[in-house]
Amino acid sequence: MKNEIILITGASGCVGQYIVNWLIENSTSELFLWVRDPKKITSINLENPRIKVLVGDLRQSNKFQKEISEVNRVIHTATAWGDPKRAKEVNIDAVKNLLNLLNPSNIKQIIYFSTASVLDRNLNLLPEAFTYGTEYIQTKAQCLRELESHQLATKIIAVFPTLVFGGRLDGTSKFPTSYLTEGLREALRWIWLARWIKLSSRFHFIHAADIAFICGHLATSNFEPAQSVPGNKIKKFVLGQPYISINTVIQTLLGWKGMSRVPQIPLWTWLIELLTILLPIQITNWDRFSLKQKHFIHEPVISPETFGGISQAKTLSQVLHNSGLNKH
């Protein structure tokens, strides 16, 4: 029996490389890795006979028309932000072009990466994502809405990572470091100030290794969690650990730094708004909306435990340990 072919876009990114490594170690599938710059791949042996590298921009899908028509599954992690024109071309147009080049008789599954920021607590699209969102948020929301009516919609699983950690800060990991992990050093620099602040905000996070576990199981097994939003053609799964509060984060970072808590001042939304007026701080409409929303939690969320696995980083302390961040 011929091995399945899985196409992974954005395979040189942090999450992409974790996923590819999981598939190499836990499946027999052939892997097509679509990347712009293969030199950024640090954790994968590209000489592996199961791997074929497709070098090109996501907007050049016709360049790989033959290969795309052969694949049985797609894990689409590639994305763009910063430039509105490029964001639309990559996050909307290129996705639709890719799906239109798939052979309906070959394709079994498309795992489409979005962001949990476009969803409300009950996993419905936020109207504010379209009106206030950055070019990244808006294009992700628009693409998801358009995919609902695509002819392959029933084969699409949309995954929505929450805050993503990955890689290490001490240079000992073969994986790239995520933006959030990179920011841990800066967070510790300001923890002396944060310990005076009390914030009522909650959120989820997830490690890239745990994302890889989830996507790997979705792509290689028949196990599927129950549909999270009944009535929709596209299955939607938010990837994250149980939510934690900002105050818990501050307490954990203080413990990591060997510092104690002090009496705290509640940082009310109106006070933050006032500071943005008085100080040279620029915030977007999306920032303002996020400040008012406060809590970024979803129900349900899935983790490796959903599949009977064990998370690599279920707690923030485990995240800090895995990041190689120096302790006090």
Q: Can you tell me the mean pLDDT for 11-37?
A: 96
Phi and psi of 2, rounded to 5°? -70, 135
In tens, the pLDDT along 38-57 reads 999 999 999 999 999 999 99
Phi and psi of 274, rounded to 5°? -65, -40
Name the band, by pLDDT with cuts 50, 70 and 90, for residue 226: low
> Letter for the amino acid at 60?
Q
CA 277, chain centre distance (Å): 32
In tens, the pLDDT along 288-317 reads 777 677 778 999 999 999 999 999 999 999
Domain spans of the chain?
5-164+205-239
11 near 5, Cβ under 8 Å?
no
**Architecture of the domain spanning 5-164+205-239:** 3-Layer(aba) Sandwich (3.40)
Q: Can you tell me the mean pLDDT for 227-238?
A: 75
- Residue 298 CB coordination number (10 Å): 23
Please state the pTM of the whole predicted model. Answer: 0.92
- Helix, strand, coil percentages in the chain from 3-state DSSP, rounded to 5: 45, 15, 40
At 270 the pLDDT is 46
Q: Can you tell me the mean pLDDT for 86-105?
A: 95
Give 257: exposed, middle or buried? Use CB within 10 Å, 0-12, 13-18, 19+.
middle
Long-range pairs of 35-38 with CB within 8 A, sequence gap ≥ 24: 35/10, 35/11, 36/12, 37/12, 38/12
Query: 173: Cβ–Cβ under 8 A, 6 or more apart, which residues?
Result: 167, 324
